[in-house]
Structure 1
Amino acid sequence: MKQHLVQQQTIQRKLNQSLIQSIQMLQFTSVELYEYINEIAEENPLIEEVVYDAGEHQQTYQASDTYSIDAMNSSEKTLYERLKEQLLTIDIPEELLPTVEFGIDSLNENGYLEISLEEWASACNTTYPITEKALHIIQQLEPRGIGARHLGECIYLQLREMDGYRPFIEDLLLHHLDWIADYDWTAIQESYGITQEELDDLIKLIQSCDPKPGKLLDTTEVEYIVPEAKIWKDQDKWKITFYHWSAPKLVIDSSYNQLVDKEAERFLKSKRDQLRWLEGALKYRTATIELVIREIVERQVDFFEFGLLHLKSMTLSDIADKLELHTSTISRAVNNKYVETPHGIYPLKFFFQSGVSQDDDGKKTTIVLKHMIHRLIEEEDKARPLSDERIRSRLQEKYSVNIARRTVMKYRQELNIPASYKRRKE
């Protein structure tokens, strides 16, 4: 009886360990999976070869782009590419995007803007106010401090996001940075009426900032964006093509089946068990990711058809409930995974957006509402800019969206757009 119980506990431990490993494999990116399987193959003599097919899961069309593991291993992201990646998840008017990208390309390796806004406007054949907006977008990117024009602004962009920030810090950093450089603590205390303790806290805050934020993205570690699938339209139907590199094939060496040595047989049994687990875990990973992507496409088909304004509110729980999986499983399945769409390459997490309830058609996502507000303000009469209440009315008239005035104000402030009286131009 006792021996039977021990056997059951041993089996349960093995099952739990296998389950944990399968879950870990689910959250691997394609490149991490490639490295992980190759490590196992080096130690398991039963695996003769791991075949990575750069083709497609369903041969329904000829892809325009070709990817390969070898090509991935010879590429490395630059500071500029990493910053531009972040633009995918930000609501930017299409006409402003080239100006923003030009600004990113004009940063030096430390993340500072090396040209004036006037030069920027001239180079992009646009206006000074447009480059101001573009700079503001760049300064929202990570790491904070990117897009600064001088050291004081760089530190300010970082400090304003921290606990302990106070309004006088902006004036100090933008107009009196020399006081800090000269250790003129008396001038700071007298000008802003702060105590010695507050001054000490301020100095600690400043010391915690990075004067060269661009270096934080200048790493020798290679990161890749490798799409799991391509979402495309064939006449009037949307289709998904899954790439094979996420589901490598294992070529088995059968010559070891002839061995009769007991010691070797015990070793081979453990390797056969590992092989069976690996094959099962790969199938589980592939099936789960494919199910999740199919469900995303089904729910977000309007986005693929018409673009950002049609992105629907969707949560991890929505997908988990439909697929009868745990929310954490969905989270792992979408973590660091990407899909190729007609609108560009997007992280799967992008499609999970919170929303504001509407009377007629469920919810509108926050990013869509902000895009609508931004567009209305872009189109307003600058001599008679729209108040928050007028924006609320226009949203209802133009987009059939019903939200409160305070919600408009909240999103406008999050977009760093000033109130109407500050936007007025004669």
Structure 2
Amino acid sequence: MKPSIVQEQTLQMKMNQSLIQAIHLLQFSGMEIIDYIQELSKENPLIEDVNFDYEISQFKQGSSNDVSIGEINQSELSMYEHLKSQLYALDIPNNLRQAVNFGIDSLDADGYLDIEMAFWAEQCHITVRQTEETLELIQQLEPAGIGARSLKECIQLQMPASKQFLDELLTDHLDWVAEENIREISEHFNLSENETEKTLKQIQSCHPKPGQLLSAKKTEYIIPEAYIYEQNGNWQISFYKWHSPTIEINESYKNLQVEEKEAADYLKEKFNQVNWLKQAIKFRGNTLENVIRIIVEKQRMYFEHGAFMLQPLTLKEVAAELGMHISTVSRAITHKYVQTKQGVIPLKFFLQSGVRQKDGEQTASFVIKQLIAEMINNEDKQRPLSDQTITNRLQQEFGIRAARRTVMKYRQRLGFASSAKRK
């Protein structure tokens, strides 16, 4: 076996420890965590019960009249369907849409690209350069690392872009990473040992097989993590108990004295598993609480006045505010919902790109899309509005400056044909 392959396997083993598991747990909804712990309890005798102080069946029944909550009968989604469901958020040129779907379908089960770029270009009748652009689009999808062509690239896609020495480190010195050789790395790249140790921890926190984070699963209910409401002029966040369930340990095992080494090692392993689980749940809860707090602060106008007051807010901005990596924030909001007076809303809804205005402020793309849809839905069907007319009305009636090509792009995403074809 080649040394580089051995090094990659050693590195993957290290990366598949508790950090990987904690990051995986971060993506779970509150109810998925409860299901996960209950499943774990079948092989861990120390876990006696999961306490979340609320009958979820009561919540489902009490919400049966709310169309935003309750049974949605969502079929199992494959990794490929999960990825394609994110495409609406990307600016994909029309001539690359087929290539994007072809590229996603060509990923292996771990999320790695399984074809050559030249073959991809030939099959989709585009240039290799356009294929590279298409791959860059796919690599913007979540989880980070999707679309990589090697373990090195997979790690780079999940790491901060500022670390310029990573390419050489992962190409020529993967053995140092696998061996956690802090001294060699520090000396070679002129880094302090603290910087090197931090970098190694970041590398080990990367998932070596990101496609596995999107394994098919069935979601039967949309259950919010928190309730956002107004009280005395301030917006409050109340988290449901299933947001951070507590684990009850079987008392009979706590002070059990075991002389046989094999049995003692077994109990120690199970105690460590419970302790890790508690820490991971706490980390998930704290991360999610901080993210929701920032969202409520930044989107106050939305909560007060509704969708047309949604503000531009990006993953990058939230991550910077909290001092976290973008991929951490992205995982924290995946499949998470909050209950508001507008209904049960996915957290991803609150993260919208914006169009910069003349005064330097930005208008959320969602707001512009809503206005465009409203104009077209209420237009004179005999005299449909052109993109230029919509552009003019946005500025004249709402003070929103948007390029005509932006209006055209949003119109197409909304599924409206051109004015000539709407007659």
Same-fold call, TM cutoff 0.5: yes
CA distance in 1, matches of 2:338, 2:221: 13
The 5 A counterparts of 1:95-106 are none
Aligned to 1:49: 49
What is the letter of the counterpart of residue 376 of structure 1? Answer: M
CA distance in 2, matches of 1:326, 1:261: 45
Aligned to 1:245: 242
In the alignment, structure 1 residue 269 sits paired with structure 2 residue 264: no
| CA shift for structure 1 position 418 | 4.5
The 5 A counterparts of 1:271-310 are 271-310=270-309
What is the letter of the counterpart of residue 18 of structure 2? Answer: S
What is the letter of the counterpart of residue 232 of structure 1? Answer: Y
Query: Cα gap change, 1:235/1:420 in structure 2, threshold over 3 Å: closer, same or farther?
Result: same
Aligned to 1:320: 319
Residues 137-181 of structure 1: CA deviation (Å, up to 9, x unaligned): xxxx9xxxxxxxxxxxxxxxxxxx857xxxxxxxxxxxxxxxxxx
- Is the 1:31–1:224 contact (alpha carbons within 8 Å) kept by the matching residues of 2? no
Q: Percent identity, aligned pairs only?
A: 46
- Is the 2:287–2:332 contact (alpha carbons within 8 Å) kept by the matching residues of 1? yes
The 5 A counterparts of 1:267-416 are 267-360=266-359, 362-380=361-379, 385-416=384-415
CA distance in 2, matches of 1:258, 1:412: 67
Query: Cα gap change, 1:220/1:329 in structure 2, threshold over 3 Å: closer, same or farther?
Result: closer
CA distance in 2, matches of 1:27, 1:33: 9
Which protein has the larger Cα radius of gyration, Structure 1 or Structure 2?
1
- Is the 1:388–1:408 contact (alpha carbons within 8 Å) kept by the matching residues of 2? yes
Aligned to 1:147: none
Query: The residue matched to 1:43 in structure 2 has which SS?
Result: coil
Query: Any unmatched runs of 5+ in structure 1?
Result: 1-9, 57-64, 83-140, 142-160, 164-218
CA distance in 2, matches of 1:347, 1:400: 29
| CA shift for structure 1 position 336 | 0.8
Residues 349-389 of structure 1: CA deviation (Å, up to 9, x unaligned): 11222221112362222221121122234444556554433
In the alignment, structure 1 residue 231 sits paired with structure 2 residue 228: yes
The 5 A counterparts of 1:149-228 are 221=218, 223-228=220-225
The 5 A counterparts of 1:16-95 are 17-54=17-54, 66-67=59-60, 76-78=71-73
CA distance in 2, matches of 1:346, 1:312: 15
Query: The residue matched to 2:230 in structure 1 has which SS?
Result: strand
| Number of corresponding residues | 273
Query: Cα gap change, 1:14/1:273 in structure 2, threshold over 3 Å: closer, same or farther?
Result: farther
CA distance in 2, matches of 1:401, 1:277: 50
Query: The residue matched to 1:402 in structure 2 has which SS?
Result: coil
Query: The residue matched to 2:40 in structure 1 has which SS?
Result: helix
Give the TM-score, by structure 2 length.
0.56
Query: The residue matched to 1:227 in structure 2 has which SS?
Result: coil
Query: The residue matched to 2:42 in structure 1 has which SS?
Result: helix
What is the letter of the counterpart of residue 226 of structure 1? Answer: I
Query: The residue matched to 2:225 in structure 1 has which SS?
Result: strand
- Is the 1:230–1:339 contact (alpha carbons within 8 Å) kept by the matching residues of 2? yes
- Is the 2:50–2:248 contact (alpha carbons within 8 Å) kept by the matching residues of 1? yes
Residues 248-284 of structure 1: CA deviation (Å, up to 9, x unaligned): 1112233331424242332222222112111111111
Give the TM-score, by structure 1 length.
0.56
CA distance in 2, matches of 1:223, 1:314: 29
Query: Cα gap change, 1:407/1:13 in structure 2, threshold over 3 Å: closer, same or farther?
Result: closer
Query: Cα gap change, 1:79/1:49 in structure 2, threshold over 3 Å: closer, same or farther?
Result: closer
| CA shift for structure 1 position 312 | 1.6
Query: Cα gap change, 1:422/1:49 in structure 2, threshold over 3 Å: closer, same or farther?
Result: closer
Query: Any unmatched runs of 5+ in structure 2?
Result: 1-9, 65-69, 78-87, 89-96, 100-215
Query: Cα gap change, 1:387/1:34 in structure 2, threshold over 3 Å: closer, same or farther?
Result: same
Query: Cα gap change, 1:380/1:254 in structure 2, threshold over 3 Å: closer, same or farther?
Result: closer
CA distance in 1, matches of 2:74, 2:258: 57
CA distance in 2, matches of 1:419, 1:267: 67
CA distance in 2, matches of 1:220, 1:356: 36
Query: The residue matched to 1:261 in structure 2 has which SS?
Result: coil
| CA shift for structure 1 position 14 | 7.3
Query: Cα gap change, 1:32/1:423 in structure 2, threshold over 3 Å: closer, same or farther?
Result: closer
Aligned to 1:259: 257
Query: Cα gap change, 1:310/1:419 in structure 2, threshold over 3 Å: closer, same or farther?
Result: same
CA distance in 1, matches of 2:315, 2:71: 31
What is the letter of the counterpart of residue 257 of structure 2? Answer: L
Aligned alpha-carbon RMSD (Å):
3.8
Query: Cα gap change, 1:76/1:45 in structure 2, threshold over 3 Å: closer, same or farther?
Result: same
- Is the 2:34–2:50 contact (alpha carbons within 8 Å) kept by the matching residues of 1? no
